[in-house]
Amino acid sequence: MADRRTVVFFPEGAFGPTNNCVGIGRVLQGLGHRVVFIVEESFAGTLEAQGFEERLMRLAPPPATPEVPGQFWIDFIRDTAPIFRKPTIEQLGAFMAPTWQALIDGSKYVDARLREIIDELRPDVVVEDNVVAFAALPASGVPWVRIVSCNPAEMKDPSIPPFSSGYAARDRSAWPAFLEEVDRTHREMWADFDAFVRQHGAPGLTWTAGGPDFIHESPWLNLYSYPAEADYPREVPLRPTWHRLDSTVRSAAQSWELPAYLQDGEGSLLYLSLGSLGSADVGLLQRLVDVLGATRHRVIVSTGPLGDQVTLHERMTGAPFLPQPAILPTVDLVITHGGNNTVTEAFHHGKPMIVLPLFWDQVDNAQRVDELGFGVRLSTYGFAAEELAAAVERVLGDTALGARMATMAARIHGASGTVRAAGLIERVAATGEPVTAR
Protein backbone atom coordinates (compact mmCIF):
# COMPACT_ATOMS: atom_id res chain seq x y z
CA MET A 1 0.00 0.00 0.00
CA ALA A 2 1.24 3.49 -0.86
CA ASP A 3 0.83 4.88 2.66
CA ARG A 4 2.40 1.92 4.45
CA ARG A 5 4.35 3.15 7.46
CA THR A 6 7.06 1.65 9.65
CA VAL A 7 6.01 1.58 13.29
CA VAL A 8 8.59 0.51 15.86
CA PHE A 9 7.51 -0.64 19.33
CA PHE A 10 9.99 -0.53 22.18
CA PRO A 11 8.43 -2.03 25.35
CA GLU A 12 10.13 -2.60 28.67
CA GLY A 13 11.65 -6.09 28.93
CA ALA A 14 8.75 -7.65 30.82
CA PHE A 15 5.64 -9.46 29.67
CA GLY A 16 3.15 -6.79 30.81
CA PRO A 17 4.38 -3.87 28.69
CA THR A 18 5.21 -6.20 25.80
CA ASN A 19 1.71 -7.67 25.73
CA ASN A 20 0.24 -4.18 26.00
CA CYS A 21 2.09 -3.19 22.81
CA VAL A 22 1.24 -6.44 21.03
CA GLY A 23 -2.49 -5.66 21.12
CA ILE A 24 -1.95 -2.29 19.44
CA GLY A 25 0.66 -3.68 17.07
CA ARG A 26 -1.77 -6.29 15.76
CA VAL A 27 -4.26 -3.59 14.82
CA LEU A 28 -1.58 -1.59 13.00
CA GLN A 29 -0.43 -4.72 11.21
CA GLY A 30 -4.01 -5.35 10.13
CA LEU A 31 -4.07 -1.85 8.66
CA GLY A 32 -1.13 -2.81 6.45
CA HIS A 33 1.72 -1.18 8.32
CA ARG A 34 5.15 -2.64 8.99
CA VAL A 35 5.47 -3.32 12.72
CA VAL A 36 8.86 -3.98 14.32
CA PHE A 37 9.58 -4.73 17.97
CA ILE A 38 12.83 -3.80 19.71
CA VAL A 39 13.27 -6.51 22.34
CA GLU A 40 15.91 -7.87 24.66
CA GLU A 41 17.88 -10.83 23.33
CA SER A 42 16.23 -13.08 25.91
CA PHE A 43 12.90 -12.45 24.13
CA ALA A 44 14.32 -13.40 20.71
CA GLY A 45 11.74 -15.24 18.63
CA THR A 46 8.75 -14.56 20.89
CA LEU A 47 7.50 -11.61 18.84
CA GLU A 48 8.47 -13.20 15.52
CA ALA A 49 6.26 -16.13 16.49
CA GLN A 50 3.38 -13.65 16.64
CA GLY A 51 4.11 -12.32 13.16
CA PHE A 52 6.21 -9.25 13.97
CA GLU A 53 9.72 -8.29 12.96
CA GLU A 54 12.29 -8.10 15.73
CA ARG A 55 15.43 -6.11 16.39
CA LEU A 56 17.46 -7.33 19.33
CA MET A 57 19.35 -5.39 21.98
CA ARG A 58 20.77 -5.84 25.45
CA LEU A 59 20.38 -3.76 28.60
CA ALA A 60 23.48 -5.25 30.24
CA PRO A 61 26.52 -7.34 29.23
CA PRO A 62 25.63 -10.91 28.22
CA PRO A 63 25.66 -13.49 31.02
CA ALA A 64 27.79 -16.59 31.09
CA THR A 65 24.73 -18.86 30.69
CA PRO A 66 21.70 -18.56 28.35
CA GLU A 67 18.73 -16.50 29.55
CA VAL A 68 14.98 -17.00 29.48
CA PRO A 69 12.79 -13.99 28.64
CA GLY A 70 12.90 -11.43 31.45
CA GLN A 71 15.29 -13.58 33.52
CA PHE A 72 17.09 -10.59 35.01
CA TRP A 73 13.91 -9.26 36.59
CA ILE A 74 12.73 -12.71 37.64
CA ASP A 75 15.96 -13.17 39.62
CA PHE A 76 15.82 -9.63 40.95
CA ILE A 77 12.28 -9.96 42.29
CA ARG A 78 12.92 -13.39 43.80
CA ASP A 79 16.03 -12.19 45.63
CA THR A 80 14.47 -8.99 46.95
CA ALA A 81 11.09 -10.44 47.97
CA PRO A 82 11.69 -9.92 51.74
CA ILE A 83 11.66 -6.16 51.15
CA PHE A 84 8.03 -6.32 49.99
CA ARG A 85 7.00 -7.09 53.57
CA LYS A 86 8.03 -3.56 54.56
CA PRO A 87 5.82 -0.44 54.39
CA THR A 88 6.13 1.34 51.05
CA ILE A 89 8.02 4.26 52.57
CA GLU A 90 10.71 1.81 53.73
CA GLN A 91 10.86 0.23 50.28
CA LEU A 92 12.01 3.50 48.72
CA GLY A 93 15.65 3.11 49.65
CA ALA A 94 15.78 -0.67 49.84
CA PHE A 95 13.93 -1.54 46.63
CA MET A 96 12.61 1.38 44.58
CA ALA A 97 15.88 3.29 44.25
CA PRO A 98 17.94 0.19 43.31
CA THR A 99 15.28 -0.76 40.77
CA TRP A 100 15.31 2.70 39.22
CA GLN A 101 19.10 2.52 39.14
CA ALA A 102 19.02 -0.83 37.34
CA LEU A 103 16.65 0.62 34.76
CA ILE A 104 18.82 3.71 34.35
CA ASP A 105 21.92 1.57 33.92
CA GLY A 106 20.09 -0.34 31.18
CA SER A 107 19.13 2.88 29.42
CA LYS A 108 22.73 4.06 29.42
CA TYR A 109 24.07 0.70 28.25
CA VAL A 110 21.69 0.34 25.28
CA ASP A 111 21.92 3.91 24.00
CA ALA A 112 24.35 3.24 21.16
CA ARG A 113 22.47 0.13 20.01
CA LEU A 114 19.16 2.00 19.92
CA ARG A 115 20.70 4.64 17.68
CA GLU A 116 21.89 1.89 15.32
CA ILE A 117 18.41 0.35 15.15
CA ILE A 118 16.69 3.69 14.49
CA ASP A 119 19.22 4.56 11.78
CA GLU A 120 18.69 1.18 10.14
CA LEU A 121 14.89 1.11 10.23
CA ARG A 122 14.23 4.81 9.59
CA PRO A 123 10.81 4.46 11.26
CA ASP A 124 7.91 6.84 10.80
CA VAL A 125 7.20 6.60 14.52
CA VAL A 126 8.65 4.87 17.59
CA VAL A 127 6.26 3.78 20.34
CA GLU A 128 7.77 3.11 23.74
CA ASP A 129 6.25 1.64 26.88
CA ASN A 130 8.93 2.22 29.49
CA VAL A 131 9.32 4.00 32.81
CA VAL A 132 12.76 5.53 32.18
CA ALA A 133 13.93 7.70 29.32
CA PHE A 134 16.04 6.43 26.45
CA ALA A 135 17.93 9.45 25.15
CA ALA A 136 18.29 7.92 21.69
CA LEU A 137 14.57 8.37 21.00
CA PRO A 138 14.14 12.14 21.40
CA ALA A 139 17.67 12.70 20.09
CA SER A 140 16.82 10.91 16.82
CA GLY A 141 14.31 13.51 15.64
CA VAL A 142 11.87 10.70 14.79
CA PRO A 143 8.33 11.23 16.14
CA TRP A 144 7.85 9.08 19.21
CA VAL A 145 4.90 8.07 21.34
CA ARG A 146 4.88 7.31 25.04
CA ILE A 147 2.58 4.62 26.43
CA VAL A 148 2.06 4.40 30.19
CA SER A 149 1.01 0.90 31.19
CA CYS A 150 1.36 1.78 34.87
CA ASN A 151 -1.17 3.19 37.30
CA PRO A 152 -1.99 6.83 36.35
CA ALA A 153 -0.33 8.04 39.56
CA GLU A 154 2.84 7.89 37.48
CA MET A 155 1.62 11.14 35.89
CA LYS A 156 1.93 13.23 39.01
CA ASP A 157 -0.66 15.68 40.30
CA PRO A 158 -1.13 17.48 43.65
CA SER A 159 -4.39 15.62 44.26
CA ILE A 160 -3.03 12.12 43.52
CA PRO A 161 -1.14 10.07 46.14
CA PRO A 162 2.63 9.75 45.56
CA PHE A 163 3.50 7.10 42.99
CA SER A 164 4.25 3.67 44.52
CA SER A 165 2.99 4.73 47.95
CA GLY A 166 -0.29 2.83 47.88
CA TYR A 167 -1.78 5.62 49.99
CA ALA A 168 -5.45 6.57 50.01
CA ALA A 169 -6.54 9.47 47.84
CA ARG A 170 -8.69 10.98 50.62
CA ASP A 171 -6.01 11.01 53.33
CA ARG A 172 -2.97 13.18 52.59
CA SER A 173 -1.44 13.01 56.06
CA ALA A 174 1.35 10.60 55.10
CA TRP A 175 2.16 12.12 51.71
CA PRO A 176 4.75 14.75 52.83
CA ALA A 177 6.90 12.22 54.72
CA PHE A 178 6.82 9.84 51.77
CA LEU A 179 7.89 12.57 49.34
CA GLU A 180 10.69 13.66 51.70
CA GLU A 181 11.99 10.09 51.68
CA VAL A 182 11.74 10.03 47.88
CA ASP A 183 13.93 13.11 47.77
CA ARG A 184 16.46 11.62 50.16
CA THR A 185 16.75 8.29 48.35
CA HIS A 186 16.32 9.36 44.70
CA ARG A 187 17.68 12.89 44.22
CA GLU A 188 21.31 12.08 43.48
CA MET A 189 20.42 9.24 41.11
CA TRP A 190 17.90 11.40 39.25
CA ALA A 191 20.41 14.26 38.87
CA ASP A 192 22.98 11.89 37.38
CA PHE A 193 20.46 10.51 34.87
CA ASP A 194 19.24 14.01 34.01
CA ALA A 195 22.80 14.97 33.16
CA PHE A 196 23.22 11.82 31.04
CA VAL A 197 20.13 12.39 28.87
CA ARG A 198 21.07 16.04 28.33
CA GLN A 199 24.61 15.06 27.31
CA HIS A 200 23.17 12.58 24.81
CA GLY A 201 20.93 14.98 22.96
CA ALA A 202 17.63 14.68 24.85
CA PRO A 203 15.75 17.31 26.86
CA GLY A 204 16.26 17.47 30.60
CA LEU A 205 14.08 15.59 33.04
CA THR A 206 11.73 17.20 35.56
CA TRP A 207 11.27 17.05 39.31
CA THR A 208 7.99 18.49 40.57
CA ALA A 209 6.31 18.72 43.94
CA GLY A 210 5.05 15.18 43.31
CA GLY A 211 8.55 13.76 42.90
CA PRO A 212 10.97 12.90 40.09
CA ASP A 213 10.17 12.03 36.50
CA PHE A 214 12.64 9.60 34.96
CA ILE A 215 11.06 9.82 31.51
CA HIS A 216 9.89 12.62 29.23
CA GLU A 217 6.46 13.40 27.93
CA SER A 218 6.32 12.98 24.18
CA PRO A 219 5.74 16.20 22.23
CA TRP A 220 3.68 14.12 19.76
CA LEU A 221 1.42 11.70 21.64
CA ASN A 222 1.07 10.18 25.12
CA LEU A 223 -1.29 7.31 25.94
CA TYR A 224 -2.30 5.68 29.19
CA SER A 225 -4.58 2.73 29.83
CA TYR A 226 -7.08 3.00 32.69
CA PRO A 227 -10.88 3.08 32.68
CA ALA A 228 -12.62 6.38 33.35
CA GLU A 229 -14.52 4.88 36.29
CA ALA A 230 -11.27 4.13 38.14
CA ASP A 231 -9.12 7.07 37.04
CA TYR A 232 -8.12 9.85 39.44
CA PRO A 233 -9.61 13.35 39.33
CA ARG A 234 -6.82 15.84 38.65
CA GLU A 235 -6.14 19.28 40.03
CA VAL A 236 -3.99 20.14 37.01
CA PRO A 237 -5.22 18.75 33.67
CA LEU A 238 -2.78 16.73 31.60
CA ARG A 239 -1.44 18.40 28.47
CA PRO A 240 -3.50 18.02 25.28
CA THR A 241 -1.20 15.35 23.83
CA TRP A 242 -2.36 12.96 26.59
CA HIS A 243 -5.13 10.51 25.70
CA ARG A 244 -6.72 8.09 28.15
CA LEU A 245 -7.61 4.65 26.81
CA ASP A 246 -10.11 2.63 28.83
CA SER A 247 -8.11 -0.51 28.06
CA THR A 248 -5.67 -1.86 25.53
CA VAL A 249 -6.51 -5.51 26.02
CA ARG A 250 -5.06 -7.66 23.28
CA SER A 251 -7.34 -10.12 21.53
CA ALA A 252 -6.87 -13.75 22.50
CA ALA A 253 -4.23 -15.18 20.19
CA GLN A 254 -5.07 -18.72 21.24
CA SER A 255 -8.06 -20.49 22.67
CA TRP A 256 -8.14 -22.17 26.06
CA GLU A 257 -10.51 -24.72 27.48
CA LEU A 258 -11.12 -25.55 31.11
CA PRO A 259 -10.21 -29.19 31.82
CA ALA A 260 -13.23 -31.49 31.85
CA TYR A 261 -12.83 -32.37 35.52
CA LEU A 262 -13.40 -28.71 36.46
CA GLN A 263 -16.15 -27.78 34.01
CA ASP A 264 -19.12 -28.89 36.06
CA GLY A 265 -17.68 -28.67 39.53
CA GLU A 266 -19.02 -26.99 42.63
CA GLY A 267 -18.28 -23.39 43.44
CA SER A 268 -17.19 -20.42 41.40
CA LEU A 269 -14.24 -20.26 39.03
CA LEU A 270 -11.30 -18.17 40.26
CA TYR A 271 -8.18 -17.01 38.47
CA LEU A 272 -4.96 -16.53 40.46
CA SER A 273 -1.96 -14.73 38.99
CA LEU A 274 0.94 -12.84 40.55
CA GLY A 275 2.32 -11.94 37.14
CA SER A 276 5.51 -13.19 35.56
CA LEU A 277 7.59 -11.34 38.17
CA GLY A 278 5.52 -11.73 41.34
CA SER A 279 5.20 -15.47 40.86
CA ALA A 280 8.97 -15.72 41.29
CA ASP A 281 8.17 -15.55 45.02
CA VAL A 282 7.22 -19.23 45.09
CA GLY A 283 6.56 -19.23 48.83
CA LEU A 284 3.89 -16.57 48.53
CA LEU A 285 2.27 -18.18 45.51
CA GLN A 286 2.21 -21.59 47.21
CA ARG A 287 0.54 -20.13 50.31
CA LEU A 288 -2.20 -18.59 48.17
CA VAL A 289 -2.65 -21.88 46.34
CA ASP A 290 -2.92 -23.76 49.64
CA VAL A 291 -5.50 -21.36 51.11
CA LEU A 292 -7.65 -21.37 47.97
CA GLY A 293 -7.30 -25.12 47.76
CA ALA A 294 -9.17 -25.40 51.03
CA THR A 295 -12.19 -23.50 49.68
CA ARG A 296 -15.12 -24.90 47.71
CA HIS A 297 -14.06 -23.10 44.53
CA ARG A 298 -12.26 -24.15 41.38
CA VAL A 299 -9.05 -22.28 40.62
CA ILE A 300 -6.98 -21.57 37.50
CA VAL A 301 -3.40 -20.73 38.53
CA SER A 302 -0.79 -18.94 36.47
CA THR A 303 2.23 -20.55 38.12
CA GLY A 304 4.86 -18.41 36.42
CA PRO A 305 8.43 -19.07 35.35
CA LEU A 306 9.16 -21.20 38.43
CA GLY A 307 5.93 -23.14 38.08
CA ASP A 308 7.61 -26.51 38.46
CA GLN A 309 8.11 -25.59 42.11
CA VAL A 310 4.39 -24.98 42.77
CA THR A 311 2.09 -27.82 43.90
CA LEU A 312 -1.56 -27.44 42.88
CA HIS A 313 -4.55 -28.97 44.67
CA GLU A 314 -7.24 -31.29 43.36
CA ARG A 315 -9.70 -28.62 42.24
CA MET A 316 -7.09 -26.61 40.40
CA THR A 317 -5.41 -26.40 37.02
CA GLY A 318 -2.53 -24.24 35.89
CA ALA A 319 0.64 -23.75 33.92
CA PRO A 320 3.67 -21.42 33.95
CA PHE A 321 2.20 -19.28 31.18
CA LEU A 322 -1.49 -19.10 30.37
CA PRO A 323 -3.41 -17.20 27.64
CA GLN A 324 -4.91 -14.71 30.08
CA PRO A 325 -7.08 -12.87 27.49
CA ALA A 326 -8.84 -16.16 26.71
CA ILE A 327 -9.28 -17.10 30.38
CA LEU A 328 -10.52 -13.92 32.04
CA PRO A 329 -13.91 -13.82 30.28
CA THR A 330 -14.70 -17.26 31.76
CA VAL A 331 -13.95 -16.63 35.44
CA ASP A 332 -15.95 -15.09 38.31
CA LEU A 333 -13.14 -13.49 40.33
CA VAL A 334 -9.52 -12.44 39.72
CA ILE A 335 -6.95 -12.72 42.51
CA THR A 336 -4.00 -10.64 41.40
CA HIS A 337 -0.80 -8.86 42.37
CA GLY A 338 -2.22 -5.64 40.93
CA GLY A 339 -0.10 -5.30 37.80
CA ASN A 340 -1.64 -2.71 35.52
CA ASN A 341 -2.25 -5.09 32.63
CA THR A 342 -4.11 -7.63 34.77
CA VAL A 343 -6.09 -4.92 36.56
CA THR A 344 -7.18 -3.21 33.34
CA GLU A 345 -7.94 -6.59 31.74
CA ALA A 346 -10.13 -7.46 34.73
CA PHE A 347 -11.95 -4.15 34.33
CA HIS A 348 -12.26 -4.83 30.59
CA HIS A 349 -13.98 -8.14 31.26
CA GLY A 350 -16.01 -6.91 34.25
CA LYS A 351 -14.32 -9.10 36.85
CA PRO A 352 -14.05 -8.04 40.51
CA MET A 353 -10.66 -8.42 42.15
CA ILE A 354 -8.82 -9.33 45.31
CA VAL A 355 -5.46 -7.58 45.12
CA LEU A 356 -2.30 -8.53 47.02
CA PRO A 357 0.32 -6.05 45.80
CA LEU A 358 4.08 -6.45 45.93
CA PHE A 359 5.77 -3.33 44.57
CA TRP A 360 5.80 -0.42 42.13
CA ASP A 361 2.36 0.67 40.93
CA GLN A 362 0.76 -2.53 42.16
CA VAL A 363 0.21 -0.91 45.57
CA ASP A 364 -1.49 2.06 43.88
CA ASN A 365 -3.76 -0.19 41.84
CA ALA A 366 -4.64 -2.24 44.92
CA GLN A 367 -5.60 0.88 46.85
CA ARG A 368 -7.62 2.25 43.94
CA VAL A 369 -9.55 -1.01 43.52
CA ASP A 370 -10.28 -1.14 47.24
CA GLU A 371 -11.23 2.50 47.81
CA LEU A 372 -13.58 2.58 44.82
CA GLY A 373 -15.22 -0.71 45.77
CA PHE A 374 -14.14 -2.76 42.74
CA GLY A 375 -12.74 -5.44 45.04
CA VAL A 376 -10.63 -5.90 48.14
CA ARG A 377 -7.01 -5.11 49.00
CA LEU A 378 -5.33 -7.55 51.39
CA SER A 379 -1.95 -7.50 53.08
CA THR A 380 0.20 -9.56 50.75
CA TYR A 381 2.24 -11.25 53.44
CA GLY A 382 0.11 -10.52 56.46
CA PHE A 383 -3.28 -11.88 55.43
CA ALA A 384 -4.83 -14.67 57.48
CA ALA A 385 -6.15 -17.72 55.64
CA GLU A 386 -9.67 -17.08 56.89
CA GLU A 387 -9.41 -13.43 55.82
CA LEU A 388 -8.69 -14.39 52.21
CA ALA A 389 -11.40 -17.04 52.19
CA ALA A 390 -13.93 -14.57 53.61
CA ALA A 391 -12.95 -11.91 51.05
CA VAL A 392 -13.53 -14.40 48.25
CA GLU A 393 -17.04 -15.17 49.51
CA ARG A 394 -17.85 -11.51 50.13
CA VAL A 395 -16.82 -10.33 46.67
CA LEU A 396 -18.48 -13.25 44.89
CA GLY A 397 -21.70 -12.61 46.79
CA ASP A 398 -21.83 -8.88 45.99
CA THR A 399 -24.45 -8.83 43.22
CA ALA A 400 -24.46 -5.02 43.05
CA LEU A 401 -20.72 -5.04 42.33
CA GLY A 402 -21.20 -7.68 39.65
CA ALA A 403 -23.82 -5.55 37.90
CA ARG A 404 -21.67 -2.42 38.21
CA MET A 405 -18.65 -4.13 36.65
CA ALA A 406 -20.73 -5.63 33.85
CA THR A 407 -21.94 -2.14 32.93
CA MET A 408 -18.37 -0.84 32.99
CA ALA A 409 -17.15 -3.71 30.81
CA ALA A 410 -19.85 -3.07 28.21
CA ARG A 411 -18.81 0.57 27.94
CA ILE A 412 -15.10 -0.29 27.74
CA HIS A 413 -15.69 -2.83 24.97
CA GLY A 414 -17.48 -0.16 22.97
CA ALA A 415 -14.50 2.19 23.32
CA SER A 416 -12.12 -0.22 21.46
CA GLY A 417 -8.91 0.97 23.13
CA THR A 418 -6.46 -0.88 20.91
CA VAL A 419 -8.18 0.37 17.75
CA ARG A 420 -8.22 3.93 19.07
CA ALA A 421 -4.56 3.75 20.10
CA ALA A 422 -3.56 2.39 16.70
CA GLY A 423 -5.44 5.19 14.97
CA LEU A 424 -3.70 7.86 17.03
CA ILE A 425 -0.28 6.31 16.41
CA GLU A 426 -1.07 6.02 12.71
CA ARG A 427 -1.84 9.75 12.60
CA VAL A 428 1.55 10.59 14.11
CA ALA A 429 3.28 8.26 11.61
CA ALA A 430 1.44 9.80 8.67
CA THR A 431 1.69 13.48 9.59
CA GLY A 432 4.64 13.81 11.96
CA GLU A 433 2.45 16.23 13.91
CA PRO A 434 1.23 16.16 17.53
CA VAL A 435 -2.18 14.64 18.13
CA THR A 436 -4.16 16.55 20.73
CA ALA A 437 -7.24 15.49 22.64
CA ARG A 438 -8.88 18.91 22.38
pLDDT at 308: 85
383-408: average pLDDT: 96
Summarised one tens digit per residue, pLDDT across range 78-115 is 677 788 889 999 999 999 999 999 999 999 999 999 99
Question: What is the per-residue pLDDT for 1?
Answer: 43
Q: What is the pLDDT of residues 238-254, one digit of tens each?
A: 999 999 998 887 665 67
Domains of the chain: 6-250+416-431 (3.40.50.2000), 260-414 (3.40.50.2000)
pLDDT tens for each residue of 287-312: 999 999 999 999 999 998 888 889 99
Q: What is the pTM of this model?
A: 0.93
Query: Do 354 and 387 contact (CB within 8 A), yes or no?
Result: no
pLDDT value at position 281?
Answer: 86
